[in-house]
Structure 1
Amino acid sequence: MSNLIKVALNLPIYHTFDYMVPKGMNQPLAGIRVEIPFGRKKMVGITMKAGNAAIDGNLKLNYQVKELLKQIDEVPIINQDIMDICVWGSSYYQHPIGQVLFGAIPSILRKGEKINEEKFKNYYYSANSQIDTHYFNNKPSQKKIYEFIKNKNQTFLDDIKKITKNLTIFHTLVKEGYIKKLEYVPKNESESHSINLSTEQTNIYKSIKSDINSFNSYLIEGVTGSGKTELYIKISDLIASKRGQILIVVPEINLTPQTLER
């Protein structure tokens, strides 16, 4: 007995297609990419439902059911929440479900490429203090980059691009050990909530909190690293505790991981 599974394709077609899970292949979960035969070619599809029907030798169908060729993913790349949103969007806006699902994933994954976890890691850079600074004699460009990173606790690649267009120099410093490349690991939720506000932050927080139930506009001014983001998080926590809604627009892409973790 082999199970049927519904597969959505990136085509302007409003229905899914039935495929058979071959013997020896685990039943795919919903939201996994699979490779399937479609006409005379192979295509990438996204599974919609698992284990809803079965075929045995006594059941006759009025169409030929082909087998899946392979599973591309081991775990779903589209979780149930995103799947539900896509299904709703497809129905509400009358758009093919396959195109909606494929529009929710990066273009490289639409082609059936394996997920390279290394690409999804976020790194920051710090200066190696255990070096011979004579290396930078008569090397002003290298010294400028090194000093810039040295004066910051965590420097991301986007920051470095702001001070130099020649990243070859920067990568050479990393390769030779003058700059250390470290994986950025966001603080967990318990660590984030243990941060105490400064006096200035507390005054601003209290001012906004006093008018939280009415519409107001606030401009929080401060230099980089002064703690504006921490204020946004604390105020967002307050609004969320009152079952309100928050929209946070992140100004730099390197702030996205830590903001999501918070």
Structure 2
Amino acid sequence: MRPSIAKVALPVPLDREFEYLIPNHLFPVIGARVWVPFGPKKLLGIVTGLSHQSEYDINKLKPIAQLLDLEPLWPEKLYKLIKWGSQFYQAPIGETFSNVMPGALRKGKPAHKQAIKTWSMTEAGKNQLMQGFGRAVQQAKIMHSLESGSMTHQQMLDIEASSSVLKTLEQKGWIESQEKISDKIEWPEKRVEEEDKRQLNHEQMLAVVTLNHVQGYECALLDGVTGSGKTEVYLQLIESVLEKGKQALVLVPEIGLTPQTINRFKRRFNVNITTIHSGLNETERLNAWLEAKSSECGILIGTRSALMTPFADLGIIIVDEEHDTSYKQQDSWRYHARDMAIMRAHHEQIPVVLAQRHLH
């Protein structure tokens, strides 16, 4: 007998779920999005339970208006962690689910890749490249970056290309943009570039060997002064994770997500590296979220908002500068990303590494 009642968490400041009738043609699952009537308007909520009975008069229940997903948005372990986080930080469950969703999903957009903007050089641009750009340093940087092929708008942001310079180059006819859905990204056989690898000292090697032998959950602290090699230690830990076909999540403070940081990872690892941060538009953020969920992304680097991204097979979590105050969410669902990263690692049964500057 199929369930007839669905419990739905809605983005309202009430710590409770609401019951709705399931129409005969709908087959919702826990963790899926639905549109439901709520007073005079419709709200997007998350199905949190299915049953045959209601504590209310069934004749007064309203039916679900629309089912948006055929499968849960989050894997079971992450779904349970989100519910745990809601209870631990005493936040309404519906607002918590809404907070950890990409904005596009909150608006009801499909949970599959959307078209993204890409930039490429025109023939006129190639001709101009040979003539040079004089004192237009920013224009030259963008044009030389496009020499090897097209780039997404996010990649342009990663190299600090400004919108005004891109617009100028486009108006001159040297570059052009188009909207397209990116192809599925496959992992290469060679996932690490050995040339960029640095020699570890005895203590660093001991840390790498110890953590590489961890089976299941482990929380480790890397403590050292700036330049002591903490980054190299966790880069080698990520290397081991990638070789096993698993993914890595690297959390950094807002101020730490620089093009230099991203480029260091890209020089080292020959896998798709995705970023999530406040500078992304809704489509870019959704695509990054989906790449991690579908295993197209080998490494996800992001600020605290990246923490609740679903992964196909997460193998390690790194929290860089774990003492930084930007890991604290100050509005909406108030939580500490470092502490939630530890709990996520515990739920996933994987190691989490906290890296900090030596403060003594």
- Report TM bin, short chain: 0.5 to 0.7
1:167 maps to a residue whose letter is L
In structure 2, relative to structure 1, the CA distance for the partners of 1:229 and 1:7 (3 Å cut) is: same
What's the CA shift for 1:188? 2.1
What is the CA–CA distance in structure 1 between the aligned matches of 2:197 and 2:181, rounded to whole Å? 30
Residues 162-220 of structure 1: CA distance to partner in whole angstroms, max 9, x if unpaired?
4773211344433399xxx995876627531xx3523x724247772146569552627
What is the CA–CA distance in structure 1 between the aligned matches of 2:198 and 2:117, rounded to whole Å? 31
In structure 2, relative to structure 1, the CA distance for the partners of 1:233 and 1:60 (3 Å cut) is: closer
Match of 1:73 among 37, 58, 69: 69
What is the CA–CA distance in structure 1 between the aligned matches of 2:177 and 2:109, rounded to whole Å? 32
Listed as ranges, the matches of 1:19-98 within 5 Å are 19-25=20-26, 27-50=27-50, 52-53=51-52, 61=57, 64-98=60-94
TM-score by length of 2: 0.51
What is the CA–CA distance in structure 1 between the aligned matches of 2:68 and 2:249, rounded to whole Å? 36
Matched, 1:101 2:102: no
Asked if 2 retains the 8 angstrom alpha-carbon contact of 1:145 and 1:170, the reply is: no
Structure 1: gaps spanning 5 or more residues: 222-227
TM-score by length of 1: 0.66
In structure 2, relative to structure 1, the CA distance for the partners of 1:258 and 1:16 (3 Å cut) is: same
In structure 2, relative to structure 1, the CA distance for the partners of 1:134 and 1:36 (3 Å cut) is: closer
In structure 2, relative to structure 1, the CA distance for the partners of 1:92 and 1:169 (3 Å cut) is: same
Q: Which has the higher contact order (CA 8 A, sep 6+)?
A: 2
Instruction: Flag the structure with larger Rg.
Output: 1
Question: Residue 84 of structure 2: SS of its match in structure 1?
Answer: helix
Asked if 1 retains the 8 angstrom alpha-carbon contact of 2:6 and 2:20, the reply is: yes
Question: Where does residue 176 of structure 2 map in the other structure?
Answer: 175
In structure 2, relative to structure 1, the CA distance for the partners of 1:96 and 1:185 (3 Å cut) is: same
In structure 2, relative to structure 1, the CA distance for the partners of 1:117 and 1:187 (3 Å cut) is: closer
What is the CA–CA distance in structure 1 between the aligned matches of 2:148 and 2:202, rounded to whole Å? 30
Question: Residue 158 of structure 1: SS of its match in structure 2?
Answer: helix
Question: Where does residue 261 of structure 1 map in the other structure?
Answer: 298
Residues 124-176 of structure 1: CA distance to partner in whole angstroms, max 9, x if unpaired?
x6657898626875975597256422566786212454477321134443339
Match of 2:194 among 193, 197, 201: 197
Listed as ranges, the matches of 1:212-231 within 5 Å are 216-217=223-224, 219=227
Asked if 2 retains the 8 angstrom alpha-carbon contact of 1:20 and 1:68, the reply is: yes
Listed as ranges, the matches of 1:131-170 within 5 Å are 133=127, 144-145=140-141, 147-149=143-145, 156-159=155-158, 161-162=160-161, 165-170=164-169
Question: Where does residue 209 of structure 1 map in the other structure?
Answer: 205
Question: Residue 117 of structure 1: SS of its match in structure 2?
Answer: coil
In structure 2, relative to structure 1, the CA distance for the partners of 1:229 and 1:219 (3 Å cut) is: closer
Match of 1:251 among 237, 257, 261: 257
Question: Residue 203 of structure 1: SS of its match in structure 2?
Answer: coil
Asked if 1 retains the 8 angstrom alpha-carbon contact of 2:33 and 2:69, the reply is: yes
Aligned length: 240
Question: Where does residue 15 of structure 2 map in the other structure?
Answer: 14
What is the CA–CA distance in structure 2 between the aligned matches of 1:207 and 1:153, rounded to whole Å? 42
Asked if 1 retains the 8 angstrom alpha-carbon contact of 2:11 and 2:98, the reply is: yes
Structure 2: gaps spanning 5 or more residues: 211-220, 266-271, 275-296, 300-360
In structure 2, relative to structure 1, the CA distance for the partners of 1:150 and 1:205 (3 Å cut) is: farther
Asked if 2 retains the 8 angstrom alpha-carbon contact of 1:127 and 1:149, the reply is: no
What percent identity do the matched residue pairs reach? 20
1:133 maps to a residue whose letter is N
RMSD: 4.7
Question: Where does residue 317 of structure 2 map in the other structure?
Answer: none
What's the CA shift for 1:103? 1.0
What is the CA–CA distance in structure 2 between the aligned matches of 1:163 and 1:136, rounded to whole Å? 23
In structure 2, relative to structure 1, the CA distance for the partners of 1:133 and 1:72 (3 Å cut) is: same
What's the CA shift for 1:53? 2.1
